[in-house]
Amino acid sequence: MIQFETYPALLQWSLWTIIPVILLTGLWFRISRKRILNSAGDALLIEQLSRSVSKRKRLFKDALRFVALLLILFAVWGPKFSDELVEIHREGVDIVILLDVSNSMRAQDIKPDRLEKARFELRKLLQKLRGDRIALVVFAGQAHLQTPLTLDYSAFDMFLDISDESLIGVQGTSFENALEIGISAFDPEDTKHRAMIIISDGEDHEGNLEGVLKRAREENIIIHTAGIGSFSGTPIPIYDDRGQIKGYRKTKSGEVVTTRLYTETLQDISIETGGRFVHLNTATASLDDIYSDILGMEQKEFSRHEFTNFKEQYHLFTWLALILLIIDLLITDLHGTERNWQGEYIRE
């Protein structure tokens, strides 16, 4: 099978018209040369003077040049040949991300803030995925399925970029509701190959997790947790419409509200379901340890398809063109034998 490089329509049209242009140009040069010779003087004399030139060799050299140009053009078209069918298997696990977007995630104890740090780590995780399906649940006082399970990582990244506190009308932090929505995001027909990652500062304003964790264990869901933030109290900024800090959240009595990382709940969740807890507190901390555990899980096949593995072959035609041009330079268009002089010298 053969395939050519896909160029813009105008460029494709230009390439296909080059061949007739070359033919017409060559024909025009031959006719013009013949016309110039005929007008230069006596035809018989010109014939005698040009007897040392082999018309057959000249025609052969012209043919070499023309074929070389054709080969160069063919190389420019980007020919790709293949008779090989490759079967691709996409295997992995289902991963549901639970991202805390409550107001406390705007605290700046990690620069630029906790939420941006979480997004950064998730984008790094996306680059490591090799066939896993991934979903996104955002939560605060309530939870919302932002992206269902998908292999489209660019779509996930787009929805991740617009995930913030404005998506959830009820503030606070409810792990119970988030876990319920996260569990529902998995494929109900597959009770294996399931992993969940919670990224949060750990503040839970509900505290009733026994029932939902029991359901997670029954449905073979391993829940990993990632704590983000520092252990010291940090104020929660308030932003204006331009994204500038205009103040900090305060209680009714006027005291500044502070937030810190609570690891207890996050660690309990991971322990109860056989997951891992990591602390995203520094620039070197990441989700790599969690993904290493996920890679060790049993994989399932999400898709399988065949495609033809085309390979670039333009260099073969380029080398052939170069060889023909070298041959053209080595061949002379003169006769191989010396022409005998049959005239007489004129002496004074």
Upper half-sphere CA count for residue 34 (Cβ side, 13 Å): 6
Confidence at residue 216, expressed as pLDDT on a 0 to 100 scale: 94
In the predicted structure, residue 74 carries a pLDDT above the cut 90 = no
Q: How confident is the model at residue 61 (pLDDT cuts 50, 70, 90)?
A: confident
Lowest mean pLDDT among 73-87, 218-232, 288-302: 73-87
Confidence at residue 189, expressed as pLDDT on a 0 to 100 scale: 83
Confidence at residue 92, expressed as pLDDT on a 0 to 100 scale: 81
Does the residue 41 lie in any domain?
yes
Q: Tell me how far apart the alpha carbons of residues 50 and 13 are, in angstroms, rounded to a whole number.
A: 41
pTM of the model: 0.64
Residues 260 and 114 in one domain: yes
Does the residue 29 lie in any domain?
yes
Does the residue 25 lie in any domain?
yes
Q: What is the tens place of the pLDDT at every residue in 275-332?
A: 999 998 876 778 999 999 998 887 776 555 566 666 777 788 889 989 988 988 888 8
Residues 201 and 221 in one domain: yes
Question: Among candidates 284, 278, 306, which has minimal Cα distance to 200?
Answer: 278
Residues 209 and 243 in one domain: yes
Q: How confident is the model at residue 116 (pLDDT cuts 50, 70, 90)?
A: very high
Q: Please give the average per-residue pLDDT across 26-55, as a whole number.
A: 70
Sequence-separated (6 or more) residues with CB below 8 Å from residue 66 = 22, 23, 26
In the predicted structure, residue 257 carries a pLDDT above the cut 80 = yes
Residues 265 and 210 in one domain: yes
Does the residue 101 lie in any domain?
yes
Q: Tell me how far apart the alpha carbons of residues 13 and 73 are, in angstroms, rounded to a whole number.
A: 13
Q: Please give the average per-residue pLDDT across 157-171, as a whole number.
A: 86
Residues 99 and 77 in one domain: no
Q: How confident is the model at residue 87 (pLDDT cuts 50, 70, 90)?
A: low
In the predicted structure, residue 8 carries a pLDDT above the cut 80 = no
Residues 75 and 134 in one domain: no
Confidence at residue 36, expressed as pLDDT on a 0 to 100 scale: 73
Q: How many Cβ atoms sit within 10 Å of the Cβ of residue 337?
A: 7
Query: Who has greater pLDDT, 85 or 138?
Result: 138
In the predicted structure, residue 239 carries a pLDDT above the cut 70 = yes
Burial of 78-100, coded b for 16+ CB within 10 Å and e otherwise, reads ebbeeeeeeeeebebbbbbbbbb
Does the residue 115 lie in any domain?
yes
Q: What is the tens place of the pLDDT at every residue in 130-143?
A: 888 999 999 988 99
Where in the sequence is the domain holding 282, given as residue range(s)? 89-304
Q: Tell me how far apart the alpha carbons of residues 297 and 300 are, in angstroms, rounded to a whole number.
A: 10
Does the residue 348 lie in any domain?
no
Q: Tell me how far apart the alpha carbons of residues 115 and 323 are, in angstroms, rounded to a whole number.
A: 62
CATH number at residue 232: 3.40.50.410
Q: How many domains does the chain have?
A: 2
Residues 24 and 106 in one domain: no
Ranked by mean pLDDT, the top range of 138-142, 188-192, 248-252 is 138-142
Query: Who has greater pLDDT, 92 or 303?
Result: 92
Query: Who has greater pLDDT, 204 or 205?
Result: 204
Q: In percent, how much of the chain has pLDDT > 90?
A: 34
Residues 62 and 190 in one domain: no
